[in-house]
Amino acid sequence: MALIVQKYGGTSVGSVERIQAVAQRVMQTVQAGNSLVVVVSAMGKTTDGLVKLANAISSNPCRREMDMLLSTGEQVSIALLSMALQEFGQPAVSLTGAQVGIVTEAEHTRARILQISSQRIEKHLKDRKVVVVAGFQGISSTTDWEITTLGRGGSDTSAVALAAALKANCCEIYTDVPGILTTDPRIVPEAQLMTEITSDEMLELASLGAKVLHPRAVEIARNYGVELVVRSSWSDEPGTKVISPQPQSRSLVGLEITKPVDGVEYDTNQAKVALLRVPDRPGVAARLFGEIARQNLDVDLIIQSIHESNTNDIAFTVTTPILKRAEAVAQAIAPVLRSHSASQEEAEVMVQQQIAKVSIVGAGMIGRPGVAAQMFATLSDAGINIQMISTSEVKVSCVIDAEDCDRAIDVLCRTFEVNRQEALGKNEHLPIQNQKAPPVRGVALALKQARLAIRQVHDRPGTAAKLFGLLAQHNISVDMIIQSQRCRVVDGIPKRDIAFTVAQIDAEEARRVLAEAAAEFGWGEVVVDSAIAKVSIVGAGMIGQPGVAARMFEALAQHKINIQMITTSEIKISCVVAQEQGILALKAIHTAFELGSGQQIQVPA
């Protein structure tokens, strides 16, 4: 007999009829011989309605009272679903997060789960009852009994955390789409259903705005090896399986505040090629990386910085053995990219050898602004300067001088409590990879983003640590981080520009914090642009497959979409474009990688 945790979202329990349909599905699962815990969200738009009520009373409602208010939505759902099950003759009991024993941090509206006491659930399961649990909520401790909520996607998080604590055989997430799709079916109705996806790919897609699963839920599944399936509430189709690697042994105490980094990687077989001052116009990246792909050269990191005087810098890293060929391609394509063919300053090629890439890896860094800042501070304290930065949901990488690599590994392993002997060389810690996997699993669009640029920050150890440490202190999460390749000497001090993206709601606070710091540390102007969109492709299958980036850039170029910034990891390529072109960019890329199914997905209202 299997123990299964099922989660039903607000749409799935949005009416009496839908609650009864969920009860019928639950009954079928029990009749198949399974023990069952069901986690439910508030009905339909209940939470939105409660938020409106609060805002009608107060322009700045107390966070504690907001938790008290919002937690009532799930209590309605669990009581009604338990009643429906009892009407069908199935014993059931409803429990709030507090009654279950979901203990969280004392952080109202955004608490993380510390531990779950499973005894009460296990007792009811032994009595052959279906246990219906309120998602999205817990209590701050067993002494003060303060009700807390987990923030957006909290019911997903509750369900997977319960599955981990109960050592369930499976956690099924029921939603209004048939599983995990190649993109948002509300934008591209012919999006294709995936039968499976790795947890690392899912983490990237979820964090990029794919709403079918919350990143925190995927993080827990990855860390604790929970078998996770996303299915439709409206059909019996098998849905999509999220595949996690074999987990390390972890304590269930501190469940969501587990050690954020579980690995340190390095690669000393790297060299950098940069084209400085390339024209800022559609098609430039497509021309460059199209030619690189035609030469069958595999590129690792790609970075395009913010524009200045209508030009950009584009840099990429390759393995040392192919450096000469990559440099030759860059030198050959440079004259074609120039606005004025005689201008040697435009598209100037710069090559740097003797570099290394060091990375920290772990699903626990999601939504924790301090992790990247801690990495930068650790390198700074060791006197190691950062030349390039690449970020993803499961990895932060820095390019440094090769001579600093051993020292960097030592200090990072000490800081993040990783065994030095377990630090891994290139490609030893890559995600699970199916050799038949497509190069791109999915395409995601993030519209509620803003870009901040700081001009002329000091190019020396400690600058990134100081800058991103300040943002971390104000609980501002940063996404893309890009340093310009050009270095200017101002009053004898070498300086570069740094740009990064944040959620739009954090943009003004980030600007204020950094403007104050700029005056103190001698940095230049802080510039904010909220009219941007970020479009990304994700796929473990792109590892070792030249041409994936070129295909993405060409799709954008064909639609005259200019790329403002580029950043990559092993399994993700992200481009910043104008906000007004975001949906067009998503559709163009989805078509370019032939991800459509030919059938339209109908999303229930």
The amino acid sitting at 57 is I
Residue 468: which of 483, 489, 487 has the closest Cα?
483
Give the least confident one: 85-99, 358-372, 562-576.
358-372
Q: How many residues does the chain have?
A: 605
For position 429, what pLDDT does the model report?
45
As a whole number, mean pLDDT of residues 62-91 equals 96
C-alpha 26/C-alpha 48 separation (Å) is: 27
pLDDT band with cut points at 50, 70 and 90 for residue 605: low
CA distance 400 to 352: 11
Question: How many helices (H) does the chain have, and how many strands (E)?
Answer: 16, 25
- CA 224, distance to chain mean position in Å, is 18
pLDDT for residue 299 is more than 70:
yes
pLDDT tens digits, 2-13: 999 999 999 999
Q: Nearest 5°: phi and psi at 242?
A: -100, 115
Query: What percentage of the chain exceeds 70 in pLDDT?
Result: 95
pLDDT at 425: 67
- More confident call, 147 vs 145: 147
**Most confident of the ranges 476-490, 494-508, 571-585:** 571-585
Long-range contacts of residues 206-210, Cβ cutoff 8 Å, at least 24 apart: 206/393, 207/366, 207/393, 208/444, 208/445, 208/446, 208/534, 208/536, 208/538, 208/574, 209/184, 209/444, 209/445, 209/446, 209/447, 210/180, 210/184, 210/442, 210/444
For residues 207 and 524, which has the higher predicted lDDT (pLDDT)? 524
- Which pLDDT tens digit goes with each residue over 376-432? 999 999 999 998 888 888 889 999 999 999 999 999 999 999 988 777 765 444 444
pLDDT of residue 366: 67
Question: Is the predicted pLDDT of residue 568 greater than 80, yes or no?
Answer: yes
Q: How confident is the model at residue 308 (pLDDT cuts 50, 70, 90)?
A: low
CB 294 within 8 A of CB 353: no
For 175-233, the pLDDT digits (tens) are 988 999 999 988 999 999 999 999 999 988 887 767 788 888 999 999 899 999 999 98
Label residue 37 by pLDDT band (50, 70, 90).
very high
User: What's the one-letter identity of residue 294?
Assistant: R
Question: Distance (Å, rounded) from C-alpha 204 to C-alpha 571?
Answer: 9
169 pLDDT higher than 80: yes
Nearest to 329 by CA among 528, 550, 91: 550
Residue 200: which of 402, 432, 43, 379 has the closest Cα?
432
For residue 475, the model assigns a pLDDT of 87
Residues 337-376 pLDDT 10s:
876 655 556 778 999 999 999 999 987 776 677 899 999 9
**Secondary structure class of 84 (helix, strand, coil):** helix
Task: Write down the pLDDT at residue 209.
Answer: 67
Per the prediction, the chain carries an average pLDDT of 90
What is the reported pLDDT for 370? 85
pLDDT tens-digit readout, 235-284: 888 999 999 887 777 788 888 887 888 889 999 999 999 998 888 889 98
Predicted structure pTM score: 0.89
Query: Which of 118-127, 271-280, 334-343, 449-458 has the least mean pLDDT?
Result: 334-343
CB atoms within 10 A of CB 129: 20
